[in-house]
Structure 1
Amino acid sequence: MSTKKTISMLFAAIFLIALNLRPAVTSIGPLLDTIRNDLHLTNSEVSLLTAIPVICMGLFAPLAVHWLNKFGQRKGISILIIIIGGMTLLRTWFYDYISLLITAFIIGIAIAIIGPIISSLIKEKFPTRMASAIGIYSLGMGAGATLSAGLTGVIYVIVGERWEIALSIWSALALLAYVVWILSIKDAKAVKEPVEMDEPAVFRSPWSNTRAWLILLFFGFQASLFFSLTTWLGSAAGELGFNVIEAGTVISVLTIAQIAGNIVIPLLLEKFPNRSFWIYFSLTLGTVGLVLLLTNSTLLIWPASVFLGLTLGGLFPLALLLPLDETTDAREANAWTAMVQTGGFIMGGITPLAIGILYDITGTHQMTYYVLLMLLVGMFVVTIFLNKKNNPA
């Protein structure tokens, strides 16, 4: 196989693997109220179905270093794809609350480990085209979120209102990803862009590095924004009188706009690589979106979803690039990404849960919007601190 074709296959594999990293979480959002009512749960309890995998993404991200050392890229990623697909498929037959929590827990661990390994793969194979590779990676996650958020409600109706099938059907994505990954990785050893190195890189632990902690906070705030919106925006639409299909459409608009951001921002980064400009631009769009949500208008929720989707689409690839910008090789990139995602995903899992508790207490999503606004403020402040360092964000 030619090098050009091998690179294309590897890009396709990265995209398809990323496609599997969100449906287990985002497919819950459109059916949140349905699952809660069917299983007689509180808002706090049902929000654990999305909080647990995200918290696991953080808690178990450090295992990526040991997993990569033990299994390597090919076998390690293959096992994790099988786990994600298998646990998702099990929801067809095991859909009581405890079983859903267990599958969410295991899927979260698999996603936690696979994320840093993919980042290290990108650092190793495409060091001069990281923005493009990260763009494909984030596009895959955005597409997975879009498909699952937008179609889960439709599938639920088509299969006779059986939400367990609507959740488990996304396991089909894992089979496709596994096949393409196995085919692409066979010749991937030949893929490695030449990079000039003056001297061997010295490994720097992220745990004692101030910039790593700032990047962790940034990643955590953007993860909190993403998972809070995908978990609760459908419910917020329901509060305004939208049915399941309509609420799912609102989330679809959000995630379609996110995909647009996933495509456009990395392309613009190739020509205009100033990270902080695009961060501030994305945060401004998000602020406009939240102001529109605060009006509680059934009409303005649509443009609000567009603005917030573009924000998510811009912030995620930027958050993935920040630790790669700071590192010099694949090993260091794996360690920094694992550290950043450890704290970041824990924050991303806790925030939607906290919103669920607030929703139980207040009975309205008005406080939800203020929490999301605080996340944007947090990212703005962190970016200022990153820019004060010697190396701009």
Structure 2
Amino acid sequence: MTAARPRSLPATGSPAVPAALLITAILLLALNLRGPLVAVTAVVDPIRADLGIDAATAGLLTSLPVLCFGLATPLASALLARVGLARGVLVALGVLFAGVVVRSLDGLPAAITGTVLLGLAITAGNVAIPVVIGRDLSRHAGAVLGAYTAALNVGSMLTLSLTVPIANATGWRVALASWGVLAVGSAAVWWWATRGPEPMPAPVPDGPATATPAAWWRRPVAWLLTAAFAGQAFAYYGVTAWLPQLLRDELAMPAATAGAAASIFQIAALGGAFGVPVLLRCTGPVPTVLVVCAAWTTVPLGFTFAPQLWAVWCVVGGFAQAGGLVAIFSLIVRVARDAAESRHFSALVQGGGYTVAAAAPPVLGAVHSATGGWTAPLLVVLAAIAVLAVAGVIATSGGRTATRPGPG
């Protein structure tokens, strides 16, 4: 019976487990896949003072996990292939809990070690969840993927809003370590939803392509989309890392208020996640990319010339940061000639883009330290958005964008 309908069953292969329970487990897991990383940005000042580090070094606490996203995907895929999706995610949550705790121990080496553990664990989650959704919830994949994307941003919003109040009462170490409770709760629900034997080995990303009409890596659109995603991801992780500090410096916000204000940038992403697929269908790829990039520019330009309107720039920029992600991955689907090429494009775009994005927090931190202000770092963000705009428009103009509709 399980062999006859493998895609309609939950991850355990047991029809007794409701789909709602698996969806709940996925959404709880998603809260852990960004929140622990952005929590650092809300308490960067006490971390720097306690550890005696400069802004560029502090930026490593948010950039190293992003580097893992780019470089550790093969390791995450190997883990999931060996132990299966259900056990692999449990292992990842265990590593994530260890990373949260180790990061809060004394000294910079512990902070760096814990940060790397977080990056490795979250990389495994990034790889596993889309596969789980496609395999076990295929009938509701679109809705679940939308909810999953929303939960990623909700996790960021929660940690940005609550880390500073917890830190004021207990100190930054306890505040960051407290998010390990969320990992434990997620692991418990995940185990309950995926208990029992797995029906088949995890279908992780495979090796080199064997049946594309021509070498996929020779297509210029693949590299253009990689450059576009690098600009998108660089801008997102740079702004996410330093927005609370910028609000404190430019508007004299208290730390707790700045953390809550920065969370608007994350929660406004829900508009982009659900709005850009509609925009793609109504206007086409090129206008969509231009709208997203125009919205993105309001962040560096708005905070440079009218920082008092910070809430507007956070809302519009939040739409843009999620919209850019949706637009690029929709374009991958549109220009790929078959499923195999789509997988290779996705791997190249994510690997290259996240590797570049890992440099954003330390680069912006170093520029801020060198100039003593935020104008120059914001100009760096504007340059990254320009890369997104130019590469994205060329890719959409020259790629085969009419063969298949984008997701959404």
TM-score range normalised by the length of the shorter chain:
0.7 to 0.9
The aligned counterpart of 1:104 is: 115
1:148-189 Cα shifts (integer Å, max 9, x gaps): 112111211232xx1001111111221222223233335998
Is 2:55 the partner of 1:46? no
The aligned counterpart of 2:6 is: none
- Superposed, 1:366-385 pairs within 5 Å as 366-385=375-394
Instruction: Confirm or deny: 8 A CA contact 1:84 1:110 kept in the other structure.
Output: yes
Counterpart CA distance in 2 for 1:171 and 1:214 is 39
1:221 to 215, 220, 231: 231
The unaligned stretches of length 5 or more in structure 1 are: 191-200
The unaligned stretches of length 5 or more in structure 2 are: 1-9, 200-208
2:75 to 59, 63, 68: 63
1:288 to 277, 293, 298: 298
Counterpart CA distance in 1 for 2:362 and 2:35 is 18
Instruction: Confirm or deny: 8 A CA contact 1:9 1:184 kept in the other structure.
Output: yes
Counterpart CA distance in 2 for 1:102 and 1:57 is 16
SS in 2 for 1:28: helix
Return the structure number with greater relative CO, CA threshold 8 A, min gap 6: 1
Amino acid in the other structure paired with 1:353: P
Alpha-carbon offset, residue 228 of structure 1: 0.8
1:190-218 Cα shifts (integer Å, max 9, x gaps): 9xxxxxxxxxx966586555443333323
- Superposed, 1:66-77 pairs within 5 Å as 66-77=78-89
Amino acid in the other structure paired with 2:323: G
Q: 1:109 to 1:248 in 2, by over 3 A?
A: same
SS in 1 for 2:73: coil
SS in 2 for 1:27: helix
Counterpart CA distance in 2 for 1:367 and 1:208 is 36
- Superposed, 1:1-393 pairs within 5 Å as 6-92=18-104, 94-125=105-136, 130-159=141-170, 162-186=171-195, 207=217, 210-240=220-250, 241-265=252-276, 268=278, 274=284, 276-297=286-307, 299-323=308-332, 326=336, 336-387=345-396, 388-392=398-402
Counterpart CA distance in 2 for 1:386 and 1:28 is 35
Q: 1:377 to 1:323 in 2, by over 3 A?
A: same
CA RMSD of aligned residues (A): 3.2
Amino acid in the other structure paired with 2:162: L
Q: Percentage identity across aligned positions? A: 23
Give the alignment's TM-score, normalised by structure 2: 0.82
Counterpart CA distance in 2 for 1:276 and 1:125 is 34
Counterpart CA distance in 1 for 2:301 and 2:393 is 23
Q: How many residues align?
A: 378
Q: 1:67 to 1:5 in 2, by over 3 A?
A: closer
